[in-house]
Amino acid sequence: MLVKICGITTKEALDAAVSSGADFIGFVFADSKRKIAADEAATIAEAFPSTVKKVGVFVNETIENMKDIAEKVGLDVIQLHGDEAPEIAEQLPYEIIKAFPAEKHAIETMMDYPCDYYLIDTPGKKYRGGSGTAFDWELVEDVSMDCNKLILAGGLTPENVRTGIEKINPMAVDVSSGVETEGKKDSAKIKQFIANAKQMRKDEVR
C-alpha cells in the first residue's frame, strides 16, 4: 500500500514521513493553512531521497506558474485539486494526480480524465480538500473503476485507514490533517498511519 503524506511545511515533518516509509510527500501551493512558498518547499525538498516522489498540490493555477514551481522545487507529480479542464493536465509534462470530490456524478465520470492517478476526497468547505472528515465510502464501493490508479483521501486517520483500505482497495492513501495535533504534523501519528496502511498490502511506486 502506497502512502502520501500531504501538507508538509517543515523538515521535521518530512523526516518523520520519509523515515516511516512514505512513498509520496505533498506540498500545498494553493490557499490553505498548510500553504508553503516555493522557495521554502525547494529548501525542504533538498533532503528528499530519490525513492520518495514530490507532489505539488495546485487549485486552478495557471500552467505557467505550475511549471515554474515544479521546476524550482523539483516536483515529480502535479496534483490538480480544482476545476482544471482535461486540456490543462495534457499540457503538463509531469505525472498527474487529479482530485475529485466524493460525489456520485464526479466519481462516475472521473475515469474519462487524462491523469495517472485519481484521488477521491471529501468535498471541501473553505478550502479544497483537507477537511479532516471522511466521506461515505459506500459511494465508491459500487462504482466500476481502476483501483490500481485510485488514491483514497478525506478524513483518514491511523485509526480508520485500514478500514478504508479494506472497503475501497485503493493503490494508495493520502492523509494530511489526520496525522496532525493542534494543526501541526505529529511524528508519532505519521509513523502509526504509515505502519497501519502498509500492513494491508505491499506495492511499489511506479
Long-range contacts of the stretch 175-181 (C-beta < 8 A, 24+): 175/3, 175/4, 175/5, 175/6, 176/5, 176/6, 176/7, 176/26, 176/34, 176/129, 176/130, 177/7, 177/130, 177/131, 177/132, 178/132, 179/5, 180/7
Each residue's pLDDT tens digit, 28-78: 999 999 999 999 999 999 888 889 999 999 999 999 999 999 999 999 999
CATH class of 2-198: alpha beta
Asked if 78 and 49 count as a contact pair (C-beta separation under 8 A), the reply is: no
Band of pLDDT at residue 19, cut at 50, 70 and 90:
very high
Catalytic residue at 115? no
Select from 31, 76, 37 the least CA-distant residue to 53.
76
State residue 179 phi and psi, 5-degree precision: -120, 35
Instruction: Point out the catalytic residue in the list 23, 76, 121, 174.
Output: 121
pLDDT at 203: 54
Q: How far is CA 2 from CA 49, 106, 127, 193, in A?
A: 16, 23, 25, 12
pLDDT tens digits for range 93-126: 999 999 998 887 888 788 899 999 999 988 765 5
Specify whether 142 is catalytic: no
Q: Domain boundaries in the chain?
A: 2-198
pLDDT above 70: percentage of residues in the chain: 91
Q: Which of 6, 76, 115, 174 is catalytic?
A: 6
Tell whether the model's pLDDT for residue 79 goes beyond 60.
yes
